[in-house]
Amino acid sequence: MFQPNAVAPGGRGSATNPHNRFEKLAIELEPEALVDEDGQPIHPRTQFLRDDSQSIISYNDSPDIPFSAGLNPYRGCEHGCAYCFARPYHEYLGFSAGLDFETKIVVKENAPELLRAELSRKKWKPQVLTMSAISDAYQPVERRLQLTRRCLAVLAEFRNPVGIITKNHLVTRDIDYLSELARYHAATVSISLTSLEPELAKTLEPRASPPSRRLAAIEELSAAGIPVNVMTAPIIPGLNDHELPDLLAAAAKAGARSAGFTVLRLPFAVAPLFTEWLDRHAPGHKDKVLSRIRSMRGGILYDAKWGARMKGEGFFAQQIKALFDLSYRRAGFPDDIPEYDVSHFHVPTDQLPLFAD
């Protein structure tokens, strides 16, 4: 059983704001500026910043990623996962990959309108759009802003396929749109399930839904006819890899049709941030975890090599894959998620036909 050594500051995955690698200057506050009048640490509040970008769909050509187009109304993520590979993307905005990533959330308020305009263009080629590939489209603020829901409304109207990746039970709020899309083989949901131990999940992913709520989301989505995949990700060798059999068994029992996994990735600022997390919460696991990561990454904490960055290499990588494959078979996944179908895509119009029946 995981025993946390400390509580994340203010429910955050990071305790610091490391220097932005693109900035020459950095601000260092005096110690007295970091505490209140009683000497207690001042925890940063979450800020929401407007993003006036005029595009909403991004593209990638990575051979490691099974999709080429994605959209997300948010940049940065309140979930504050200590291991999140997306943290360095916040540095492109002039922020830090640490606390800034969790507390300075950039919001694309016009995301649904931009999406509608893009799908209405004659040059748009119907294809799967993935939501939450970088930051979770169902992070807590979505409950209030409903930008993801409004984007799903547009996708349902156009019948354009969408694949959602999330670790928040809030996705069940949108079962109406998702089930409508699923009728046309145009929607799947992947639930990220990292651990079944509540305390480990709470410190690793402080503001995400607890494991029990994620399993409940799988049940509710599956009952509504929405194909659900589970991502046991990331697998952290020496910390949660032993949970693979139980994770997969629980996911299959809840109704997931398939599952996958990735191993921990620690690019750029994520490596020192995650090392700090181990110091705070799991000092007894630190040496074992970092040693195994290095053994899977050619002696370093991160190797960005195509084909290996998602799974790792070497003995421990092979061991994790073998354990996953065996556990997958024993869990009895039906492995029957249908292929996405773009043939039902259409551009809705209010214009009346020239000749009525």
Q: Tokens 């005096």, residue?
A: 30
Over residues 344-356, the pLDDT tens digits come to: 999 998 644 444 4
- Residue 351 lies inside a defined structural domain of this protein: no
Q: Tell me, what CATH number does 139's domain have? A: 3.80.30.30
Provide the pLDDT for residue 195.
98
Helix (H) / strand (E) containing 331: helix 315-331
Torsion angles phi and psi, residue 231, rounded to 5: -105, 110
Over residues 123-178, the pLDDT tens digits come to: 999 999 999 878 999 999 999 999 999 999 999 999 999 999 999 999 999 999 99
106 bridge partner residues: 49, 75
- Residue 167 lies inside a defined structural domain of this protein: yes
Residue 356: is it exposed, middle or buried by C-beta count within 10 angstroms (0-12/13-18/19+)?
exposed
Which three-class secondary structure state does DSSP give residue 235? strand
Distance CA 253, CA 273 (A): 35
- Residue 352 lies inside a defined structural domain of this protein: no
Domain total for the chain? 1
Residues 6+ apart with CB under 8 A from 210: 198, 201, 202
Q: E strands, the chain, where?
A: 47-50, 57-59, 69-71, 74-75, 104-107, 129-131, 162-166, 187-192, 228-235, 258-263
- Residue 23 lies inside a defined structural domain of this protein: no
- Residue 53 lies inside a defined structural domain of this protein: yes
Provide the pLDDT for residue 64.
81
Mean pLDDT of each 10-residue bin along the chain, 357 residues long: 59 92 80 70 89 91 85 96 96 96 97 97 96 92 98 98 98 98 98 97 97 98 98 97 98 98 96 97 97 97 91 96 98 97 92 45
Distance CA 288, CA 193 (A): 22
Q: Tokens 């696991």, residue?
A: 285
Q: What is the pTM of this model?
A: 0.92
- Residue 6 lies inside a defined structural domain of this protein: no
Provide the pLDDT for residue 356.
44
Distance CA 187, CA 171 (A): 12
Mean of pLDDT over the chain: 92
Distance CA 295, CA 105 (A): 35
Peptide bond into 234 cis (omega under 30): yes
**Domain range for 206:** 31-331
* C-alpha to C-alpha distances, 277 to 121, 250, 260, 286, nearest whole angstrom: 46, 27, 25, 9
Q: Do the beta carbons of residue 5 and residue 283 sit within 8 Å?
A: yes
Tokens representing 191 are 């639930």
- Residue 347 lies inside a defined structural domain of this protein: no
- Residue 13 lies inside a defined structural domain of this protein: no
DSSP states of 263-287 as a string?
E----TTHHHHHHHHHHHH-HHHHH
